[in-house]
Amino acid sequence: MPCNSCNSMLVLIDDQWKCPFCSQLPILDKDTAVDVFGRVLRYLNDLLKKHLQAFEKNRLILHVLWEREKFARSYFDTYQGFDLTKFMTLNVLIRQLMNETIFRGNLVADERNTAELVEHFTTYVRFADYHILLEGGFYSLSITEPFDSKNLSETELLKNVKIFPNETYLPVLETFENNDILRKKEAQGKIEEYRELAESERARILKRGKVAYTSDQIIEKWYPTLNQLYCGLHRNVKFRETFDLCNFKGFSPQRIMEFVNQFPLINSVFTSSEVGDFLERLQRSFPGRRSKVLEKAFVFGETNSRIFPLFVRLGNLVYISHRTAFVVYLLLHPILYKERFDLETSRRSLEMERREAQENFEKAGFTYSPGLKDNPKKPRLEIDGIATRGATMYVVECKGWDLKPLYDHEWRQKDLERDLRGIVDGVKYERKDGQLKSERKVSLLEKVRFAEENMKIWSFDSESFSEVRGLIVIKASPPIQEYKGVKILPINQIPAL
């Protein structure tokens, strides 16, 4: 989507794609932009660190914990939007506070100043995300007027730069939105659309006591939510590092949730337990495990701050975050049951090939024939579908590539582009044990040629079609729209053909 006038890369300003050159917005080159924004980020981090040290440590941690639990409760109890960045912020802040050793203790944390602190820290986390996106070439940095960045202070830099997503980020943004990971305005519309259904489902699954569903049922019933949480909370290296739940490996998510439900959940009250009682219940809930192993896996504190901060010890109390635990419970399914989760992903991908593609083509006025083979008994090639309209025939390849973890990184888009080119060229790529493997497959171009020369075996009249083209249909938004004459488009854009 380059500028029609000057072919420059567009940037997203106030929800509109604009040309920085035609709009007279000087754009810094990538290396300079990364360096300038890195300085700003370090400056903000130093400011926040100094501010944090002014608080009394444990009281501040407790207030941030309660902010996190209230945030989770607002999502599950009243079905508000789930702000991924804010949830990320709260968990980063808890860990940073626990690891901080220098607190002057002059400022007493309360609900008001904690909320303000969380808001400022959320801005810092968003800036850290922007820095990653600048490094990946997805965002651009403009300057209000020419300046020498080396001779400006960080506060002056902040006043003189603006950051925008550019047109290379558009496929990433569209893929997030196709998976209901939306900007605030669009998210509110989805919330209203699905509120009644979601509230009834959550009422069943969040009931106190024994977890109602098996892991297989959770993965099947809640797949979109699981995928949103998993990919949204692992969207880049900073998010993935924060939501590393390896300390819970070997523990059933159901058992963890049943353990949490032993403690009362009371409106407007933060549940806590004396350390001794907490550890005794933990031992009873996971018999056969050594107490030290359980404590190391579950109890986050000053001497055990590398694990995810779910059950947080402050003094002689451990704080139990019920609804935060439910987020973790959901998030553990695609992590601990990855094979089963990947099978569900494949099943839904196959469903797209067989049902979604056909429905979308037929709605767009095409006649669609799915699952065609050159030989019913010993096929050498299989075609996902042939779509015809007028004198045009499309030989369709459906690719189930969808939202994945680390989607905010440039290499993920390059992987997708490589795979799309591979479909056309006849090469399938797969990463095993850290190594990229390739396998020769029948190319889409070969399938197009076969269809041109042999369409009569599927009862098509070759005289009726003046054009036979290849077409790749994909769930995600592709980084390229065409390759070697083959069009590539998201499944929801079929009507635009």
pLDDT band at 162 (very low <50, low <70, confident <90, very high): confident
Give which of 227, 244, 238 is closest to 409, Cα–Cα.
238
Q: Give the model's pLDDT for residue 83.
A: 87
- The answer to whether 486 and 444 are in contact (CB under 8 A) is yes
Q: What is the 3-state secondary structure (H, E, C) of the chain?
A: CCCCCCCCCCEEECCEEECCCCCCCCECCHHHHHHHHHHHHHHHHHHHHHHHCCECHHHHHHHHHHHHHHHHHHHHHHCCCCCHHHHHHHHHHHHHHHHCCCCCCCECCCHHHHHHHHHHHHHHHHHHHHHHHHHCCCEEEEECCCCCHHHCCHHHHHHHEEEEEEHHHHHHHHHHHHCCCCCHHHHHHHHHHHHHHHHHHHHHHCCCCCCCCCHHHHHHHCHHHHHHHHHHCCCCHHHHHHCCCHHHCCCCHHHHHHHHCCCCCCCCCCEEEEHHHHHHHHHHHCCCCCHHHHHHHHEEECCECCCCCCEEEECCEEEECHHHHHHHHHHHHHHHCHHHHHHHHHHHHHHHHHHHHHHHHHHCCCEEEEEEECCCCCCCCEEEEEEEECCEEEEEEEECCCCCCCCCCHHHHHHHHHHHHHHHHCEEEEEECCEEEEEECCCHHHHHHHHHHHHHHHCCCHHHCCEEEEEEEECCCCCCCEECCEEEEEHHHHHHC
- Statement: residue 5 has pLDDT above 70: no
- Note whether 390 and 381 are within 8 A (CB): no
The CA distance from 80 to 191, in Å, is: 7
Q: What is the pLDDT of residue 186?
A: 46
Predicted confidence (pLDDT) per residue in 345-372, tens digit? 888 877 777 788 899 999 999 999 999 9
pLDDT greater than 60 at residue 488: yes
| CA pair distance 123, 111, nearest whole angstrom | 19
How far is Cα 403 from Cα 171, in angstroms, rounded to an integer? 11
- The amino acid that residue 99 corresponds to is N
Q: What is the average per-residue pLDDT within 288-315?
A: 96
Question: What is the pLDDT averaged over residues 261-280?
Answer: 94
Question: Sign of the CA dihedral 342, 343, 347, 350?
Answer: positive
Over the stretch 113-125, which tens digit does the pLDDT of each residue have? Answer: 999 999 999 999 9
Which tokens go with 361?
């083509």
The confidence score (pLDDT) of residue 402 equals 78
| Predicted confidence (pLDDT) per residue in 443-470, tens digit | 999 999 999 999 999 999 999 999 999 9
Instruction: Identify the pLDDT of residue 225.
Output: 83
Percent of the residues in the chain that have a pLDDT greater than 90, as a whole number: 59
How far apart are the C-alpha atoms of 254 and 242, rounded to whole Å? Answer: 22
Burial class (CB in 10 A: 0-12, 13-18, 19+), 55: buried
Q: How confident is the model at residue 191 (pLDDT cuts 50, 70, 90)?
A: very low
pLDDT attached to residue 14: 65
Distances in Å between the Cα of 30 and the Cα atoms of 5, 33, 34, 167, 235 are: 23, 5, 6, 15, 21
Alpha carbon separation from 195 to 76, 78, 158, 192, 484 (Å, rounded) = 11, 9, 40, 5, 45
Q: What distance in Å separates the CA atoms of residue 231 and residue 62, rounded to the nearest whole number?
A: 28
Amino acid identity of residue 109, one-letter, is: A
Record the tokens describing residue 43, joined without a space: 């400056």
Residue 187 has pLDDT above 50, yes or no: no
Over range 14-30, report the average pLDDT.
70
pLDDT band with cut points at 50, 70 and 90 for residue 432: confident
What's residue 18's pLDDT? 65
Which one, of 415, 413, 468, lies nearest residue 444 by Cα?
468
Q: For 400-405, what is the mean pLDDT? A: 83
Residues 63-94 pLDDT 10s:
999 999 999 988 877 666 788 899 999 999 99
Overall average pLDDT of the 174-198 stretch: 58
Q: Cα separation of 243 and 331, whole Å? A: 9
pLDDT at 184 > cutoff 90: no
pLDDT given for residue 10 in this prediction: 67
Reading phi first (left if > 0) and then psi (alpha if -120 to 50, else beta), residue 141 is in beta
User: How much is the mean pLDDT over the chain?
Assistant: 87
Decide if pLDDT at 189 tops 60. no
Residue 194 has pLDDT above 70, yes or no: no
With a cut of 50, say whether residue 190 has pLDDT above it.
Answer: no
Averaged over 412-416, what is the pLDDT?
91
Tokens for 6, please give them. 């000057």
Assess whether pLDDT exceeds 50 at residue 131: yes
| pLDDT score, position 429 | 92
Strand-pair category, 367-373 with 382-389: antiparallel
pLDDT score, position 58: 92
Least confident of 20-29, 303-312, 405-414, 427-436: 20-29
Phi, psi of 268 (to 5 degrees): 65, 15
> 303 versus 153: which is more confidently predicted?
303
pLDDT value, residue 9: 64
Query: Which residue type occupies 265?
Result: L
Smallest Cα–Cα separation from 341: which of 171, 220, 436? Answer: 220
- Residues in CB range of 334: below 8 A, 6 or more apart: 219, 226, 227, 230, 341
The model's pTM: 0.83
Q: Which residues contact 441 (CB under 8 A, 6 or more apart)?
A: 426, 427, 428
Query: Does residue 195 register a pLDDT over 60?
Result: no
- Percent share of the chain, pLDDT over 70: 87
Per-residue pLDDT tens digits for 384-396: 999 999 999 999 9
Domains and CATH numbers, the chain: 11-166 (no CATH), 237-336 (no CATH), 352-496 (3.40.1350)
Q: Which has more confidence, 342 or 445?
A: 445
